[in-house]
Amino acid sequence: MASSSSSFASDSQYRPLWKYDVFLSFRGVDTRRTFTGYLYEGLKNRGIFTFQDDKRLENGDSIPEELLKAIEESQVALVIFSKNYATSRIESEYIHHIVDQISVLCKGSLSYIKNLVGIDTHFKNIRSLLAELQMSGVLIVGIWGMPGVGKTTIARAIFDRLSYQFEAVCFLADIKENKCGMHSLQNILLSELLKEKDNCVNNKEDGRSLLARRLRFKKVLVVLDDIDHIDQLDYLAGNLDWFGNGSRIIATTRDKHLIGKNVVYELPTLHEHDAIKLFERYAFKEQVSDKCFKELTLEVVSHAKCLPLALKVFGCFFHERDITEWRSAIKQINNNPNSEIVEKLKISYDGLETIQQSIFLDIACFLRGRRKDYVMQILESCDFGADIGLSVLIDKSLVSISGNNTIEMHDLIQDMGKYVVKKQKDPGERSRLWLTKDFEEVMINNTGTKAVEAIWVPNFNRPRFSKEAMTIMQRLRILCIHDSNCLNGSIEYLPNSLRWFVWNNYPCESLPENFEPQKLVHLDLSLSSLHHLWMGKKHLPFLQKLDLRDSRSLMQTPDFTWMPNLKYLDLSYCRNLSEVHHSLGYSRELIELNLYNCGRLKRFPCVNVESLDYMDLEFCSSLEKFPIIFGTMKPELKIKTGLSGIKDLPSSVTYQTHIINKFGFRRYKDEPELESLLQMRENNDEPTEHCIGTKRSRYDNSEPRDEASCSSSKKQREVGSKMKQSKMQHNCKLGPWYFENNAGNSAYVAEQLECWPVIDECVEGKKAVPKRVNDISNSKSSHITKQEEQRGTISRNQIGADTRRTFTGHLYEGLKSRGIFTFLDDKRLEDGDSISEQLLKAIEESQVALIVFSRNYATSRWCLNELVKIMECKEEENGQTVIPIFYDVDPSHVRYQSESFAEAFAKHESRYKDDVEGMQKVQGWRTALTATANLKGYDIRDGIESEKIQQIVDHISSKFCKSARFLSYLQDVVGINAHLEELKSLLQIEINNVRTVGIWGIGGVGKTTIAKAIFDTLSDQFKAACFLADVKENARKNQLYSLQNTLLSELLKKKDDYVNNKYDGKCMIQSRLCSMKVLIVLDDIDERDHLEYLAGGVGWFGNGSRVIVTTRNRQLIENNDAIYEVQTLPDHEAMQLFNQHAFKKEVPDECFKKLSLEVVNQANGLPLALKVWGSLLHKKGVDRWKKIVDQIKKHSNSEIFEKLKISYDGLEPKEQKIFLDIACFFRGNERKEVMQIVESYDSGAEDILEVLIDKYLVFISKYDVVEMHDLIEDMGKYIVKMQKEPSRIWNAEDFEDVMMDNMETRAIEVIWLWTSTKLSFSKEAMKNMQSLRILCIQTHLCDSKEDSIEYLSNNLCWFDWHKYPWKLLPENFNPRRLVHLDLRWSSLHDLWTETKQFLSLRRDRSKLLLLPEENTRFQGDAKFGVFVSTGINPWKDEAEPP
């Protein structure tokens, strides 16, 4: 649990010994039913434990003795003197003030806080962030930090210290671990803040509405402890408007991203002195530590790196152990991390997505401490989406970026990462190897497995590099060995899956000939013993960097023809290199080329300079001819030729005015002043101080520099001016201007001359360091002004003089404390408003009216007029609820206008005796009084006032909670109006029968949202209504009868466990609801039982009832009265929904529009994707947007896939198989063609296709083409890619991996390739494909050295290979299940040399048998007889494809 990571001692250990907070002494006869009762309730509501001397003593106790003990054990004593006390002020306000003061006293006594190590600093910092609690406005503050740093403890301390300043408070602990659904947390929050123990909501959408409605006028303090998903913040504190002014929300989290742009307090680890203090508290308790332990204490604290969780765990472990045990345990800690600590830290790792986990483990095992740009290159080479992944890890406090731009993490976080990997005891079973001894063990014992993804070891000193061990490592993507001087012989095998390959001092003369790493991005074999890399060409389409520097035996470079993306080539110090392969001229992406000190290099034919920024030919003393230039040379290209043998320059260089001297300085032809300055630099005549561009920026506030100290500045400004003129004259762009010292050790680059950098300082003997002037742009700020609603929820009618200062005041406070917006006719009117007009409007806009009848009520004409208006509103169609309260008057006196009411009416009649209209008004008053008194209400003449008020508030709150449907949120639901209109027409509310309507659509399309909207819109028209959310999930977690109990409780308005099995529930629903007009929504059903046992027939419910069902499976609702198919959003609504989540209420900048369009196009109108991606991009800068959008295009989002995958998980195995085939291969093909293929291995294809259509996983277009949503297709491919052994291959690269590495292929069912890539086949790999049923290849580029492919699966049902490249099919190929064989345009001479039996081969309906050559003779037993072709090709008129 989150609280277990506390860095401090527990609360209870330091809590004071008071049994009671307050002792309440009073005389019961005077005040018990009034003032004291309210005061007691007020203290209780604040959580102040109060002893009340005439109530809390148990029967039989000795009163004097108990009283004495209670007084002694109470922290505060309140003595109430009753005579005339309450007449001085309004009771409720006075009580409120007293409660505040007592609350301060009690909360201020939390002495445990003083014992929390380092709490004062945290409290001061966080309180400053909370920004003066007295200020209006609502603020959210996040407490963010790594696991175990003490976030929960600090939040708890802040909560306890500040809670007395708020009307209501709630600490929601350990939110991440909640297993009961979001609505359960919402119920807890409402119960705590409104002081009512009622489960008001049963779904999170209702909870969201209720929170916003009930708390908007309450000043609250809420702590959301340990959130790990954006939904938790959205549904518990989604908007600042939800809470009253002055409210504060504190959220603790390990993920900074969840806090967004709210105020964030980053919680660091402890200072060393505090860490020692905390450790000693747990290790020595109250004892004083012995001096002999001090050095050992420092060692433990150092290992814990001041992490509170570790200090606490280590301290408890060392408690009461002797010094020998300490030393032994410390040695053990240093070698093996503590599993208790690691398991708690591992929670953050478990919450990562798969790719993020891989990035984290790579960093923890071998990339920590390395420069960020280097780490990013490695991760990007593995196609991990490094930028987003690293940001997630930073936000979750798992890694950090140091001031030196290196990747860092806490020692214990690193230990946790290595612990995750080391859980496999056998090194060969681990995903990563970083210890030399583990790697050597794998090599010696041949224990490598497919699990190994990365090897990164400092050296390797064994004489043997095991081919067997490496062959099995089919997923190895990183191999980094920094030394291996003792290796003997050649290396026979390296995995073709490698992407990052570094081996310094590589000991062999070449790489293995079978090494075909087509995904390789980085190859570094510097300091190697290579003579050559390999012979011939290698297809390396992704290779970006080739580093062979200081390979002193290297004599020739590889062929670069098939390295189209090569950017960096380093051959420096290759002193035996004689020739650079001419194919380098094709490398158009080359950026840097280093041939420094290649003394024997004689032949360097050509180079492509289109992308080239840097080329070093220095000390190439044998190179006499400058290479031929291909492409246009960039202006900023830097070429060094110092001390080389080059004598002449190509004309292309001269033509472009690039003249290169032996020291590598660019000259500008026909510019003598530029030439003179460069010559001055070359001859070492320039001043020792290079102060370039000393003109001060208007943003530079530093003192002017001494011109004398920068003697060259004037000359250089003149040169700059001249170069600008040159730029205009030659109409070309001048690039950076390079200055370099003779030794070639460093360079200074001044950016474009029209924008000189500002120079910070001139240091003698050193170059000036340029400083860019950053653009300053006006930041746009926006704020949302909170607008309070003017509609009243409750209006109250009473005579002020009678009850305002006592009963009515307390009732008003009680309603307000429950978040019930109450209009008080003599208090809430603003100055200057017309009373009568304002009152009428308030009455009309209130849902409930409370009439407080007192003895003198009828004397007020104002009250009587209000009463008449209230009763008129009650009689209207959507009339309000009226509740009479008889304060100190008998209800019969009100009903019959007797006693004090008779006296009052006598005066009214006397007043209006000569006024006919007046007398009619009096009669109306009488009628209204009689009607009101006949209503069900509350008689509070007997009993305790505070308890009666509690009953009234409970009743109002319950009614308000259950019946109010807040429709304001609908205005933000994109496109909802059209859905509502369509559903209303299908529901036909005006017809008095029972009707069921299904809402059907693809996962994530918004079925639940639409159902909730129609429910909230129509529920007031029914006697009772129930929205059963997420039926599928709730039925899975609980029994169906629990849902039946929820349904009955909601509709019968009484919470109870009515039944304990679904059969009784079915009967009870029918019997209890058969005469009730109800509205029921069954959300997300996926089994027939859900409908059968919750709403099985029209006879179950009364006339006019409506049942709405949402589902992904159309079959379940085929018998409904109507089905509403929910379509994806049109483009304009999709953009609106995306903007709603990506920008909230802000207007997006122009720079985001194009990126927004890309995301919306990717989502293809699916609301789920638009919401998830919009939330992901919210409050991100444009650079992050670009990277995230690129990542979305590559990998979409696992959160979306997991939600869509629910539909897939509900399929039968055969249905899953066909769905994956369509997603991976058949989408976009004609239905007839797809059915032919699928029927080749499953005779029930048509029925299964209908199931997939019913579940909205596929659909048939108007052109009879099988289609599916883009994200459904991506979800299918995602499922295959997540399989340990993929079942389908549609990508040529994946096929090559399988063939080259002889990977386990037993799971492969389908290979379907359309590619121009050359394919190679492995007999071993093909032989393992026992489950292969479809083989479709469209390419003629195959490695066809033999006359026939060596092996094909005999389980093939569909075999399609255009341009089959071999002369024969394998002799051992006996595909008895084969239905389709298409080998058109092949190189076949004969199919085979003997007769074959094909019992399943069909030739009906379509071209299921295509013969390869006109002169081929084919004979075979077919299912429909014998088909013999003798030189006639029935499809010879078909043109061969190009």
Q: Are strands 794-797 and 1266-1267 parallel, antiparallel or unpaired?
A: unpaired
Of 352, 404, 353, 396, nearest to 375 by C-alpha is: 404
Q: Pull the structure tokens for residue 689.
A: 């101080």
Burial tier of 982 (Cβ tally within 10 Å: 0-12, 13-18, 19+): middle
Tens digit of pLDDT for each residue in 864-894? 888 888 888 888 765 678 889 998 889 999 9
Q: How confident is the model at residue 96 (pLDDT cuts 50, 70, 90)?
A: low
For the beta carbon of residue 1009, count every other beta carbon within 10 angstroms: 18
Q: Compute the average pLDDT of residues 923-949.
A: 86
Q: Which residues pair with 222 in a beta bridge?
A: 170, 249
1045 has a pLDDT exceeding 70: yes
Query: CB–CB of 1311/1334 below 8 Å?
Result: yes
- Supply the pLDDT for residue 614: 92
In this structure, the dihedral spanned by the alpha carbons of residues 1124, 1127, 1132 and 1136, taken in order and rounded to 10 degrees, is 80
What is residue 897's DSSP assignment? T
Q: Compute the average pLDDT of residues 57-61.
A: 41
Containing H/E element for 339? Answer: helix 339-350
129 has a pLDDT exceeding 90: no
For the beta carbon of residue 1050, count every other beta carbon within 10 angstroms: 19
Rg for the chain (alpha carbons), in Å? Answer: 41
753 has a pLDDT exceeding 60: no
Where helices occur in 1255-1308 by DSSP H, the ranges are 1270-1282, 1292-1301
Q: How confident is the model at residue 1311 (pLDDT cuts 50, 70, 90)?
A: very high
Which of 126-140, 378-392, 1373-1387 has the weakest average pLDDT?
126-140
- Supply the pLDDT for residue 985: 92
Compute the distance between CA of residue 723 and CA of residue 754 in angstroms, rounded to an integer: 9
Which range, 212-221, 343-352, 670-679, has the best average confidence (pLDDT)? Answer: 212-221
| Order of strands across the sheet that contains 220-227 | 168-172, 220-227, 248-253, 139-144, 263-266
Of 718, 670, 669, nearest to 693 by C-alpha is: 718
For the beta carbon of residue 857, count every other beta carbon within 10 angstroms: 27
Q: Catalytic site residue 132?
A: no
Q: Compute the average pLDDT of residues 1392-1409.
A: 56
Compute the distance between CA of residue 184 and CA of residue 181 in angstroms, rounded to an integer: 6
Q: Which residues pair with 169 in a beta bridge?
A: 221
318 has a pLDDT exceeding 60: yes
Tens digit of pLDDT for each residue in 638-655? 888 888 888 777 665 644
Q: Compute the average pLDDT of residues 1420-1432.
A: 34
- Supply the pLDDT for residue 557: 92
Query: Is the pTM higher than 0.85?
Result: no
Containing H/E element for 1420? Answer: strand 1417-1422
- Supply the pLDDT for residue 379: 92
Compute the distance between CA of residue 1130 and CA of residue 586 in angstroms, rounded to an integer: 46
Angle at 455 between CA 450 and CA 459, to 5 degrees: 140
Give the rounded percent of residues in the chain with a pLDDT score beyond 70: 75
Q: How confident is the model at residue 525 (pLDDT cuts 50, 70, 90)?
A: very high
Decide which of 779 and 1118 is more confident.
1118
Decide which of 1160 and 56 is more confident.
1160
Residue by residue, what is the 3-state secondary structure of 511-578? CCCCCCCCCCCEEECCCCCCCCCCCCCCCCCCCCEEECCCCCCCCECCCCCCCCCCCEEECCCCCCCC
828 has a pLDDT exceeding 60: no
CA 854 to chain centre: 58
Of 866, 945, 1309, 1413, the catalytic one is 866
- Supply the pLDDT for residue 1347: 54
The pair phi, psi for residue 603, each rounded to 5°, is: -120, 115
Neighbouring residues of 418: CB distance < 8 A, sequence distance ≥ 6:
337, 364, 365, 434
Compute the distance between CA of residue 1094 and CA of residue 1103 in angstroms, rounded to an integer: 17
Give the rounded percent of residues in the chain with a pLDDT score beyond 90: 17
- Supply the pLDDT for residue 296: 84
Q: Compute the average pLDDT of residues 356-370.
A: 92
Decide which of 1348 and 921 is more confident.
921
Decide which of 423 and 702 is more confident.
423
Decide which of 893 and 83 is more confident.
893
Neighbouring residues of 28: CB distance < 8 A, sequence distance ≥ 6:
36, 54
591 has a pLDDT exceeding 90: yes
Query: CB–CB of 740/747 below 8 Å?
Result: yes
Compute the distance between CA of residue 142 and CA of residue 224 in angstroms, rounded to an integer: 9
Q: Compute the average pLDDT of residues 905-915.
A: 89
Q: Compute the average pLDDT of residues 795-804.
A: 58
Compute the distance between CA of residue 53 and CA of residue 36 in angstroms, rounded to an integer: 11
- Supply the pLDDT for residue 1217: 93
579 has a pLDDT exceeding 50: yes
Coil/strand/helix, residue 1371: coil
Q: Which residues pair with 1151 in a beta bridge?
A: none
Q: How confident is the model at residue 1343 (pLDDT cuts 50, 70, 90)?
A: low
Q: Which residues pair with 592 in a beta bridge?
A: 568, 614
Which of 26-40, 242-256, 1088-1102, 1241-1255 has the weakest average pLDDT?
26-40
- Residue 195 to residues 479, 957, 1140, 1318, Cα–Cα distance (Å): 62, 11, 34, 73
Tokens 């009084």 sit on residue: 929
- Supply the pLDDT for residue 785: 33
